[in-house]
Structure 1
């Protein structure tokens, strides 16, 4: 038996309203659940869907300590390349910490990286795994020609 894919991503945050503003403004997330003061899980929580239909990603947020040490551990959301400038403006308007892009190989896609107020690193990525693997593939070996004697 194997996994059929990702079920959901959970972020522990100090402020549920603040992370909701980021998710809805930047990712177009739709809130589908709010526990209010009920705690069926570990703490108050909200669920969101990012994307549409059966391919939507379930994002959960839970109230907690937050404040992670910053690292390159991150979650990346697929976006359209043409949307990157407008998304960068939305992120900046929310006062989030935009990070410089990492160095890239030509053709592997473009990204915006930013931290939320709890230290989670998000990437908005315009590209696909197929494109990246094609760029990383070694060039075909040149056929060897017989040497003249």
Structure 2
């Protein structure tokens, strides 16, 4: 059986630019960097940046990072002041900011969790929703 998420690896064109985004803007901790990559972490998440040509898709796939309601306005302002591109407007429960990293990877900064999302679905279910 699987135990959980181990790590996420993202293809990046420029390791230093990606490091600046994830460490300086999003507050990740940098651990090591080498010619073709870097290891970072935030909370329990291990993120690998790997020098490669990103192939970003046009679907809704994205990575969502947790933020507290208290920190959300500061994070939002920081990303807006840095000129980070937004790719979607929030239409669901909890505050969310949807941004692109320097390589076009879709990210979400979200206040909430699975429990709060399920509670919201009890009040306003998605079309065709079935509880498992």
Note whether the superposition's TM-score is higher than 0.5: yes
TM, length-normalised to structure 1:
0.75
Root-mean-square deviation (Å): 1.8
Q: Which residue of 2 aligns with 1:58?
A: 46
- Post-superposition, which runs of at least 4 consecutive aligned residues in structure 1 deviate over 6 A? none
Change (3 A) 1:96 1:124: same
Q: Which residue of 2 aligns with 1:133?
A: 118
* Larger mean Cα displacement after TM superposition, 25-34 or 10-19: 25-34
Q: Which residue of 2 aligns with 1:144?
A: none
Change (3 A) 1:103 1:138: closer
Residue 87 (1) aligns with residue 70 (2) = no
Q: Distance in 1 between matches of 2:24 and 2:70?
A: 17
Could you tell me how far 1:25 is from its partner in structure 2?
2.3
TM, length-normalised to structure 2:
0.84
**Partner SS, residue 123 of structure 1:** strand
Change (3 A) 1:82 1:16: same
**Greater Cα radius of gyration, structure 1 or 2:** 1
Alignment of 1:1-149 (within 5 A): 2-35=1-34, 37=35, 44-51=36-43, 56-66=44-54, 68-104=56-92, 108-137=93-122
Could you tell me how far 1:94 is from its partner in structure 2?
2.7
Change (3 A) 1:15 1:93: farther
Unaligned runs of 5+ in 1: 38-43, 140-149
Aligned length: 124
